[in-house]
A and B are shown apart, each in its own frame.
Chain A
Amino acid sequence: MTLTPARPGTGSDAAAGGAPGAPPGRPRRFTRAVRLAGGRVSFAVRPRVAAVYGGLLAATVVVFAVSLSVGEYAIPLPRVLWALAGEGERLDLFFVRDVRLPRAWVAVLVGAALGIAGAVFQSISRNPLGSPDIIGFTGGASTGAVAVILVFGGSVLQVSLGAVVGGVGTAVVVYLLAFKQGVQGYRLVLVGIGINALLLAVRDYLMTRAELTEAMTAHIWMIGSLNGSGWGEVVAVSIAAAVLVPVVLALGPRLRLMEMGEQSARGLGVPVQGTQVTVMLAASALTGAAIAVSGPISFIALAAPQLVRRLARTNGTALLGAGLMGALLLAVADLIAQQALAPTQLPVGVVTAVIGGSYLIWVLYREWRTGHA
C-alpha cells in the first residue's frame, strides 16, 4: 500500500498548529534509528534517553566503587581494585570481598528490582501512587516475614520465603478483588490501600503478642536494612532478577500500549488481560524477592520510575530506566546510611524514607504550582 500526500491545505489545523517546525532549540524528531545485520535488527533510540541511562549507569559505578572504599577502615581505590583482583593485605581482601562487595551488589540489585516493579504497577494502575509500597504488596511481604519470625522463629531462608509468599499472595488477592472486565487503575489502588491497612493491623497485632527480643528482630527487619548482607543474599536476588527481569522487560512495549487504554491496546493486537496477569505476577515476585533479602525498603519503587521519566522525558513507562534509577538511588541511600552517623549504621530504610518523602512533597508542590494536580 502506498499513501499519497494529503490534499493541499487540509483544514485549519495545520495553520493553527503553527509554522512548520517546533519552537527553536527543540529537535523536531526525538528518534534515531539503529539498524544492524542488514536491517534484520533495528531499534529506535532517543539520544536523550540514551544519555540519561548512560549517566545513571556511570553514576552507579562511581557510587559502587566509593562504597567499596570508604568506611571505618578506609581503603584507597587502587587498593580496592587490587583486592578485587585477589591481591593485597588480608584485611583489604576481607573488607572488600567479603563485607562491602556483597552489600554493594545487594543494594544495586534490590534497588533495580524495586524500581522495575514500581514502574510495572504504576503503569498498570495508570497512577503514580500505584507502587507496591502503597497498594499492599510490601505490606503483604512484611506481614508474611514478621509472621514467620514471630510464629516459627524462623531462619533467614524461612523469613525470605514468608516475605515472597506474603507479597505474591497479596498481589493475587488485590488483583482478584480489583478485577471486573479488566483491572482499572483507581480500583487497584483503592483495593490495595484497604488490603494494606488490614495487613498492617495483622502485623501490629502479631507484634503485641511477641517476646521483646523477637519483636526487636522483627522491628529492625521491618525498617529495611542491608546490614550484614552477604553472598547468600546476592545469589538469591540475582537468581530472582535473572528469571523475572527479562520477562518484565520483554513485556515493556505492551505495557506502554496498554497505557493508551484497553481498547487502543487490543486494537493494536495486545492481549491485555494475559499481559496484565503475567507482568503483575512477575513484578510481585520481584518485589517479594527484594523484600526477602533486605526488608521492606520504602519509596524506591515509588520514586524511581517517576524520577527517570522526568529526567529522560520518555513517553510512557521506562522499565529499564526505572531499574537503573532504583539501583542508583538505593546504592546512594545505603552509602549515606553507612556513613552519615558513623560509626552508628542506620537502616537504609530510614534514609530512603527521608529521600522519598522529600521527593513526594517536591513532586506534589511542583504539580500544584503548575496546576497539574
Chain B
Amino acid sequence: MPEPSRLWGENLTLAYDQSVISRDLGITIPDNSFTVIVGPNACGKSTLLRALSRMLKPSSGAVHLDGRLIGSYPSKEVARRLGLLPQSSIAPDGISVADLVARGRYPHQKFLKQWSRTDEKVINEAMEATGIVDLAGRMVDELSGGQRQRVWLAMVLAQQTPLLLLDEPTTYLDIAHQMDVLDLCAELHHERSYTLVAVLHDLNHACRYATHLIAMKDGQVAAEGDPADIVTEELVEDVFGMPVRVIPDPETGTPLVVPVDRGGRIARRREPGTVERPAARAEEARSA
C-alpha cells in the first residue's frame, strides 16, 4: 500500500497518564503543504503536534514518518527528517545568536566531526533566510521577542529537515512580528518546498496562510481542507461555540472570521457610524 504522505498517523489514542485527549484519531499531513491546526483551548491540537513529533508516545495507534514507524528510528535520524519549534525553549545564559543557531546542527554532527564546512555554510544560510545575519554576534538575551523567535526558527532551519513542526510560533509576539514570522513560514513553504505544520490561535492568520487547514474539537478532526472550502459560519460556531460572520478578507480574499456583536462591552456602539463612548471622551479631555 502506498503511503498517504511523508507524515501521517492512524488510530491514534493520545493521553497524558489517565486522561485521554484524543481517541482513534487519523491524520495525514499532505506533502508540501502549509498545514495549520486550529481549535479551541484544550482541543488537543498541541497534543497532536507532540505525537507527530514523537514527543508523546501514543497509547495506541502509530505515527508514520517516511514510510516507517516514527518510533523505529534512532533519535538523531528523526531529527534529520523532522524539525520542531516548541512553544517555549530556554536560551542558555550568555549564548550568542550564531552559537544558538549552530546548535541546530547537532543531529548532523559526529563525535569527531563537530564543526564541518557544511555546518558553517548551513548556519550562515539559515541566518540569511531568517534575516538575522546582522545579529550573529549579539547575545540572545539582549534581543526582542520577535528577533528571538527568528533565532529559534534559524536554529530549526539549520537542522535541514524537509518537514517542520511549529507549536504556536506567533504567541507572545505583537501583530507586526506575528506577520513577519508567518511571512517567513510562507516563504519557506513556497520557495523552498518545506512541508510545514503549525498550531495557530488566530483563525484569520490560519485562513490567510494555510494551504491545508485542520480544525479540531474535543480531540477529533472537525473539518479539514482548503480554508476557502471549509471555513464557514456553521463550522466556526460548531468548533468554537461562538456565533461569527465569515466575510472575504479585503486583502487576500481568504475567509475572514468576525465575531458577532454580543453587546458585551460597557459602552458600545449605538448606531453604525456614531460612536458614544463617554469613557473615551473623558480620557481625551484629560489628555487635552
Contact = CB atoms under 8 A, between A and B. Distances in A.
Interface of A: 1-7, 10-14, 16-22, 26-31, 33-35, 39-44, 126, 250, 253, 256-257, 259-261, 263-264, 266-271, 313-316
A312 to B, nearest CB: 10
Nearest to A22: B137
Contacts, number: 174
A35 B75 CA distance: 27
Contacts of A35: 115-117
Contacts of B119: 42
Interface of A is mostly: loop
A6 B111 CA distance: 32
B96 A30 contact: yes
Interface stretch (B34-42, B141-149, B263-271): B141-149
B91 A42 contact: no
A4 B191 contact: yes
Given A3-B129, A263-B89, A21 B137 contact: yes
A263 B144 contact: no
Contact of B83 (A17, A250, A267): A267
Interface residues of B, number: 71
Contacts of B135: 13-14, 17-18
A17 B98 contact: no
A10 B131 contact: yes
Contact of A268 (B55, B79, B192): B79
Interface stretch (B21-29, B99-107, B203-211, B218-226): B99-107
A213 to B, nearest CB: 49
Interface of B: 53-55, 74-80, 83-96, 98-100, 102-104, 106-107, 109, 111-117, 119-120, 122, 125-126, 128-132, 134-138, 143-144, 146-147, 150, 156-157, 159-160, 176-177, 180, 184, 187, 191-192
A322 B117 CA distance: 29
Nearest to B162: A1
Nearest to A259: B92
A348 B93 CA distance: 32
Contact of A18 (B109, B129, B134): B134
B94 A313 contact: yes
Contacts of A16: 144, 147
